[in-house]
Structure 1
Amino acid sequence: MKFNGKINYIELPCRDMAATKAFFSKVFGWGFVDYGPEYMAITDAGIDGGYYQSEHVALTQHGSALVVLYSSELEQTLTDVKAAGGQILQEIFSFPGGRRFHFTDPSGNEYAVWSEQ
């Protein structure tokens, strides 16, 4: 359902469409719909969105917003991210409200995964 003034869609840069698609499908079970060679929509990710072909990357050190994913099994998700080729920027650490880690996808975009445990 769409609501006025609420976040509805997110778009991220992507250097390597095929590698990004394979990574997120394997680790998080996302689906994708291709709209030509330079854009793919995300499905089954909790929010609508897409990736557009670009040499830019989304990193918090460059002032980018951080996309934060949830996992009820944080350690297993960390293992899965590493096994799929994600690069760990920050190992699991505690913060008020839970624990999380940060990683980059095959295109170099930064994400975090958190759990309340």
Structure 2
Amino acid sequence: MTHAPGTPSWVDLGTSDLEAATTFYTELFGWTAHVSPEPEAQGYTIFNLDGTPAAGAGPLFSPDQPSAWSVYLATDDADETAERVVRAGGSIAMAPFDVMGFGRMAVFLDPSGGAFSVWQGGSMPGADVLGEPGSFGWTELNTRDLAGSKRFYGAVFGWTADDQQFGPRPYTTFRLDGTAVAGMMPLDADVPEQVPPHWMPYFVVEDCDDSAALAEKLGGTVKGKPAEIPTGRFAGILDPQGAAFIIITPQR
């Protein structure tokens, strides 16, 4: 699968307990785990769905780092993207570097502090399956700065903002050449200030209620009961190590 620059192309988990996380996600999504044999990969694991790469997981870089999912956006040139990030007011958290011939990546912060990564594919272009049950299907930025985020991501990736109103809350769909690629919504007012803006991954499931119940059985936490939204039925999940993600059964 090829990924156009500026579109989500990969998602991976940094976790405090890679073995336990592997057990949780393989049972929840039906993934198989393939551990990279290279010592420098530090156990980085590719999760396959029906034999094709769907997501990844690895250990945390430091013990004080929380377990969390990271969203990657495709780029043809990670170094040039880094220059655009800085020009647009963002910052570089991890400068572009090569990943053993698989590709080149970097980690950035948008002007409000939201972290995201980019992936310049080499032998590994990114996920080979998207939007199918058991795979990464959508991502949203939760932020306190809607206007600034529109300017930043528009400048860096060429996204345009399509604003809607979902009940009492505004919702923005980011589009690239007319195609929806990501979403954005405001952080709730009761979210503590120490919680930074963040990108949230959605994973597609066949039955949201069944998958939420399974996540709890496997030691995860369901944040609120499954509920209907205009695009389907969803639920927020914390895995046993505290990493947050959303599951969704799209409307058919």
Shorter-chain TM range is 0.7 to 0.9
Cross-structure match for 2:68: 58
Q: How does 1:21-100 map to 2 (within 5 A)?
A: 21-35=22-36, 36=39, 37-44=42-49, 48-54=54-60, 55-58=65-68, 61-100=195-234
Q: Which has the higher strand share?
A: 2
Q: Which has the higher contact order (CA 8 A, sep 6+)?
A: 1
Deviates more, 1:57-66 or 1:35-44: 57-66
Measured at CA, do residues 11 and 74 of structure 1 come closer, stay the same or move farther in structure 2, by a change above 3 Å?
closer
Q: Any unmatched runs of 5+ in structure 1? A: none
Structure 1 residues 90 and 58, CA, compared in 2 at 3 Å: closer, same or farther?
Answer: farther
Deviates more, 1:97-106 or 1:1-10: 1-10
Aligned partner letter, 1:77: S
Give the structure with higher Rg (CA): 2
C-alpha distance in structure 1 between counterparts of 2:3 and 2:247, whole Å = 26
| Percent of paired sites with the same residue | 17
Q: Indicate yes or no: 2:15 matched with 1:14.
A: yes
- Aligned Cα root-mean-square deviation (Å): 2.4
Structure 2: runs of 5+ lacking an equivalent: 70-141, 143-194
C-alpha contact (below 8 Å) 1:34/1:41 kept by paired residues: yes
Partner of 2:68: helix, strand, or coil? coil
Distance in 1, matches of 2:43 and 2:66, equals 14
- The answer to whether the 8 A contact 1:8-1:48 is kept is no
Structure 1 partner of 2:105: none
Instruction: Calculate the TM-score normalised by the size of structure 2.
Output: 0.42
